[in-house]
Amino acid sequence: MFPNVYFCISFLPPPRSVGVSKFLQIQKSNYSLPAIGKNWKSLAAQAAGISCCLRDSSTKYYDFSVIGSGVAGLRYALEVAKHGTVAVITKAEPHECNTNYAQGGVSAVLCPSDSVESHMHDTIVAGAYLCDQETVRVVCTEGPDRVRELIAMGAMFDHGEDGNLHLAREGGHSHHRIVHAADMTGREIERALLDAVVNDPNISVFEHHFAIDLLTSQDGPDTVCHGVDALNTETQEVATGDGMAMAHRAEAVISNMEFVQFHPTALADEGLPIKPQKARDNAFLITEAVRGDGGILYNLDMERFMPLYDERAELAPRDVVARSIDDQLKKRNEKYVLLDISHKPRDKVLSHFPNIAAECLRHGLDITQQPIPVVPAAHYMCGGVRAGLQGETNVRGLYVAGEVACTGLHGANRLASNSLLEALVFARRAVQPSIDHMKCSSLDVSASSWWARPMVPNSLKSDVIDDILSTTRKVRKELQSIMWKYVGIVRSTTRLETAEKRISGLESQWEEYLFERGWKQTMVGLEACEMRNLFCCAKLVVSSALARHESRGLHYTIDFPHVEENTGGVSAALDMVPAPNGETFFGHPSGRVCDGRLIIDFIAERLKLPYLSAYLDSIGTDFRHGANFAASGASIRPGGFSPFHLGRQINQFIRFKARTTALHNEFASKRKPGKVPPPCIENLPEPTEFPKALYTIDIGQNDLAYGFQHSSEEQVRTSIPDILSQFAEAVHQLYKEGARAFWVHNTGPIGCLPDSFLHNPQNPGSLDQNGCLKTQNEVAREFNRQLEEMISQLSKQLPQSAFTYVDVYSAKYQLISTCKNEGFVDPLKFCCGIYKDHRIHCGEKATVNGSVYGLCEDPSKHISWDGTHYSEAANHWVANHILDGSLSRPSFSVENACHQVSKSDASTQFVE
């Protein structure tokens, strides 16, 4: 459990592909272990802990181990301590964590005029529509209870004159919902939690212990976490990306590294009347609440500039404000701007912001009379170790919460004061699965001897150690300079590539220097390990930024200044979706004819496939794993509605495969030892991955629907054999290219689509009991019957194939027939707009056969988004009903479909 480590990231390739240095490879090799049995108690935030390499060379065992002493770690520790012993490993003093320095507060819906829906809306708007909707719903719904628990534990938040909690407002929020303790909220939360921890006999806190690496092994295809190597040290430094780097080396999936949040208003020491005597190790932040309380931003000519950039002015989200300040500084060649709160009553300013007022007064500035000099400063990562809704990761036994986790809440930009809330919610959600895992595990007390112990460099002379420390500190400053100069608020491909080269060169020089001075492969030291982690995180940031060819949220690049909306759906099959194509759940253009995730997204999510975004990017961007090679929603035959017919898509897929294979081969032939593939190659699948993919095909609707609009239903029925013949030909092509595992969805109840009623007159006798067109659904069922027969034939014709036929029709028709019980409205209405010339016009309404079609207030209650395609909410419902395999033949869950053994070669497994 990495509760408060500073760095976070969406999908990046496995560790090998971001350029793991010789130093890292050496370190990792010392902790590898051959595959072992399944019955080992795991640690690192959840089950039996082995904290190795303490100063006294002892090995200690705990039921749960927690790395970090922030709000997530301590809250988690207090809960699991009810079920076993807990070790909390903290880098410095327990209070030295990011939680302690959080000024603003915790956002939660605690006012009757506020709502969960409003909080969700604000979160996703701030996150540039890249948030995971279910995660946002969970956090915003459960957040108020987590805040009340803190109060019950003794956390003392500010109250208003009416006796109720005083709720502040910050940038990006539409309501006052920030619970706070003046401008020292984090300190108060940390105090309350530490008091409880100190009084809990089941919790042991290891101060000044630096976590070096996770102890992992392989159990078949799974990586299992067993413990953590910890070095006893004395330091006050924090936040160097240690948890995220450790998880990365343990092959945990890392996400959204490109989204580095810059706090827009850090105290600019250059503008203070009395300058600090030495440079600060960490920027002193001026809380978001100052702007929320009426603070105004001016340039040095006292010109207010935020209204020029955004209609929300100073209350715009952090990414907007930070870029606006950056633009002002560059245009005017100035070092800082001014944040003025002096127009507010003196007593209120001092009561709301006592810590800020005191710090400024130490340097000769009275914030009740003078504006505060401020400048943006790197502050927070919106991604991290990819976590599920229970804090689980792809590494068995490893749970994450807090800043190290990427839960999908923040998307491309964190909404103010959502971080503490996220930490509280996910720390609590990780408890029960951790306990369950602990109870079903067993412990071998000899386990700690299976990993080589790192050693401190006692054999080196003191002057050598001093030289190494001095050089490492210089290298650290140089790395920070590179990141600020080339990977800052505004980016470009050229600058990112320059950063990539300079970081790689700097790391190589540093490692060579260490080994020349006698550093051994198994040696560890605080500053050396921190430097290793900083290099790891920096490379992940740069690699991820180069991979995102758009500007979204915190990632702004001048080479791709717009949001890339051609994601998911058809573009997952290598084609672009033409506009206009509907909107997302929150009214943002989506670039896909659906309001968010498709069934294919939920399949990828269930398989725990890494992808850039759970909400919009879906699986259509990196083409690395199974479901990314989907032909979803295309026509089988050329013509009709879609130019993206199956034959064309497969031809493009073949060219794509040939090109990626050629690129990999070309690079391999020229590769020098230690050389890292460039991003254009490392983000492509290896040639060996193509036959391992799960080829997911969800087609049929377009062919039948087009036929219904342009011919009789009987003619459509007679065309089915020809349609399926072309489908079989396409499958044969894929098989020749190495495809082996196929997950095939049949077509849905076309007679229940609202679009069918726009193009086909109906009378009461033509409708079934649920209001669907009977004859169209009869044809759809006949198509599905023949499709299942065709799959049976293909299974015999292609001896190494593994087919799963999925009855999506039954799931969709069940949803239609029980829609109101499931929280949906009339299934024959749709949400986005109306068709004209086969295009969706989202700003209009129309009356067809007495029914009104058009814009709706809540897309999540509609089954159809645009008359033809299902909404995200409906896709989610359908996915939940097919993924367990109950509607599949053979009755395989989607996970098992990925692991079917070839009929002709029992040694071959088709994995994702």
What does the pLDDT read at residue 103? 57
What is the dihedral sign for C-alpha 395, 397, 399, 404? Answer: negative
What does the pLDDT read at residue 547? 79
* 3 state DSSP class of 860: helix
Q: Are 678 and 729 in contact (CB under 8 A)?
A: no
Give residue 648's pLDDT band: very low, low, confident or very high (50, 70, 90): low
At position 876, the amino acid (one-letter code) is H
What does the pLDDT read at residue 256? 87
Q: Are 623 and 661 in contact (CB under 8 A)?
A: no
pLDDT in tens, 6-64: 111 112 222 222 333 333 332 332 222 222 222 222 223 333 333 333 334 456 778 88
Lowest mean pLDDT among 186-200, 515-529, 646-660, 865-879: 646-660
Interacting residues of 227 by C-beta distance below 8 A, sequence separation 6+? 43, 44, 48, 49, 50, 51, 52, 65, 214, 215, 447, 448
Active site residue 318: yes
Q: Between these two residues, 493 and 901, which has the higher pLDDT value?
A: 493
At position 49, the amino acid (one-letter code) is G
C-alpha span between 699 and 743 (Å, rounded):
11
DSSP state at residue 739: -
Q: Is residue 661 scored above 50 in pLDDT?
A: yes
Q: Is residue 482 scored above 90 in pLDDT?
A: yes
DSSP state at residue 270: G
Catalytic residue among 318, 396, 428, 502: 318
What does the pLDDT read at residue 36? 23
Match 């039948």 to its residue by tokens.
704
User: What mean pLDDT comes out for the span 809-814?
Assistant: 96
* 3 state DSSP class of 291: helix
Average pLDDT score over the chain: 77
CB atoms within 10 A of CB 145: 12
Question: Three-state secondary structure along 507-553?
Answer: HHHHHHHHHHCCCCCCECCHHHHHHHHHHHHHHHHHHHHHHCCCCEC
Structure tokens at 314: 């100073």
Give residue 166's pLDDT band: very low, low, confident or very high (50, 70, 90): very high
Q: Is residue 617 scored above 50 in pLDDT?
A: no
Match 């599905």 to its residue by tokens.
784
What does the pLDDT read at residue 625? 33
What does the pLDDT read at residue 47? 30
Question: Per DSSP, what are the bridge partners of residue 375?
Answer: 266
What does the pLDDT read at residue 447? 55
C-alpha span between 753 and 876 (Å, rounded):
17
C-alpha span between 421 and 111 (Å, rounded):
16
What does the pLDDT read at residue 708? 86
- Residue 32: alpha-carbon gap to chain centroid: 27
pLDDT in tens, 328-386: 998 999 999 999 999 999 999 998 888 899 999 999 999 999 999 999 988 788 888 98
User: What mean pLDDT comes out for the span 552-561?
Assistant: 86
Residue 223 Cα distances to 250, 396, 437, 464, 875, angstroms = 8, 6, 15, 38, 31
What does the pLDDT read at residue 635? 75
Percent share of the chain, pLDDT over 90: 34
Model-wide pTM > 0.95:
no
Packed helices 418-429 and 431-439: angle between N→C axes, nearest 10 degrees: 30
User: What mean pLDDT comes out for the span 271-284?
Assistant: 85
What is the dihedral sign for C-alpha 139, 141, 147, 148? Answer: negative
DSSP of 744-797: EE----GGG-HHHHHHS---GGGB-TTS-BHHHHHHHHHHHHHHHHHHHHHHHH
pLDDT in tens, 105-133: 899 999 999 999 999 989 988 888 788 87
What does the pLDDT read at residue 363? 94
Lowest mean pLDDT among 445-454, 589-598, 741-750: 589-598
Percent share of the chain, pLDDT over 70: 74
Give residue 161's pLDDT band: very low, low, confident or very high (50, 70, 90): confident
